[in-house]
């Protein structure tokens, strides 16, 4: 039985063991979606490294797919078995996925160019953390399959999305920021309620990145058109 940082039985409708069991069942059931998610993420990273007129479409569609998949496959089909709030979380994730797709494919107000500077460094840091460091910490703590995986579970998806938004042309559409902030606080609470150390950065990134982008002011970034 996992031990919480402190006893919080009244705050959660499930135990830490139930929480980890959901990840285990989910990862085993959806395999090889994990590999597909990494291939999708790699394609998005390559598009960001060498922006073209197609980059915003590739990235927006990729983020949209990750959020919608996570909302339906993880929240509805698995997490809802231990938490009734999962259906509300699923709705938020599906909405966010549609917002990403709409911004990139219809409104064309989520765009990318080659960027440098602090904002870009932070963006790439969050992308690398979500894809590599977050799962490594989870593997060291609980092992596979009882761990959140890149691209198909809520916290890594949110971290990856915030990293991508830091690489976008400014200003970032504000409608894309609200749900990631909500999940950074809700999902990030696992860092202390469920002793999930890899999610501490999720809380920090939500509280720092979202207000930074919301104000539409940032450290000057040199941009060159693709």
Query: pLDDT per residue over 136-158, tens digit each?
Result: 999 999 999 999 999 999 999 99
Q: Is residue 199 part of a domain?
A: yes
Q: Is residue 3 part of a domain?
A: no
Please determine, for residue 29, whether its predicted confidence score (pLDDT) is greater than 60: yes
- Judged on CB neighbours under 10 Å (0-12, 13-18, 19+), 5 is exposed
Which residues, including other chains, have CB under 8 Å from residue 45's CB and lie 6 or more apart?
127
The mean pLDDT of the chain is 90
Q: Mapping DSSP to helix (H, G, I), strand (E, B) and coil, where does residue 171 land? A: coil
Owning domain of residue 70: 16-218
The answer to whether the beta carbons of residues 137 and 16 sit under 8 Å apart is no
Give the side-chain half-sphere CA count within 13 A for 58: 18
Per the structure, the count of domains in the chain is 1
Please determine, for residue 1, whether its predicted confidence score (pLDDT) is greater than 50: no
| Per-residue model confidence (pLDDT) at position 184 | 96
Please determine, for residue 108, whether its predicted confidence score (pLDDT) is greater than 90: no
| Per-residue model confidence (pLDDT) at position 180 | 97
Q: Is residue 224 part of a domain?
A: no
The answer to whether the beta carbons of residues 37 and 15 sit under 8 Å apart is no
Least confident of 85-99, 122-136, 201-215: 201-215
User: What's the average model confidence in pLDDT over 78-87?
Assistant: 96
Q: Is residue 1 part of a domain?
A: no
Q: Is residue 158 part of a domain?
A: yes
Q: 171, 151, 173: which is closest to 161 by C-alpha?
A: 151
Distance from C-alpha of 153 to C-alpha of 140, rounded to nearest angstrom: 18
Task: State the Cα angle at 9 between 86 and 195, rounded to 5°.
Answer: 75
What are 9-24's pLDDT values in tens digits?
457 888 899 999 999 9
Q: Is residue 226 part of a domain?
A: no
Please determine, for residue 223, whether its predicted confidence score (pLDDT) is greater than 60: no
């Amino acid at each position: 039985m996992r031990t919480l940082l402190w006893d919080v039985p009244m705050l959660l409708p499930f135990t830490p063991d139930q929480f980890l069991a959901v990840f285990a069942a989910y990862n085993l059931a959806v395999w090889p979606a994990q590999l597909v998610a990494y291939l999708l993420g790699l394609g998005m990273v390559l598009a960001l490294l060498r922006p073209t007129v197609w980059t915003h479409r590739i990235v927006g569609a990729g983020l949209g797919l990750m959020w919608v998949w996570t909302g339906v496959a993880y929240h509805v089909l698995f997490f809802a078995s231990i938490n009734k709030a999962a259906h509300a979380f699923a709705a938020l994730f599906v909405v966010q996925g549609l917002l990403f797709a709409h911004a990139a494919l219809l409104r064309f107000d989520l765009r990318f160019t080659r960027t440098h500077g602090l904002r870009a460094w932070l963006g790439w840091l969050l992308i690398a953390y979500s894809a590599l460091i977050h799962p490594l910490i989870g593997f060291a703590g609980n092992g596979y399959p009882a761990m959140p995986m890149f691209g198909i579970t809520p916290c890594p998806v949110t971290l990856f999305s915030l990293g991508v938004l830091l690489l976008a042309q400014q200003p970032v559409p504000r409608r894309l920021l609200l749900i990631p902030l909500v999940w950074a606080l809700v999902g990030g609470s696992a860092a202390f309620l469920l002793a999930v150390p890899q999610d501490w950065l999720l809380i920090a990134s939500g509280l720092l990145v979202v207000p930074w982008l919301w104000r539409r002011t940032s450290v000057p970034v040199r941009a060159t058109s693709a």
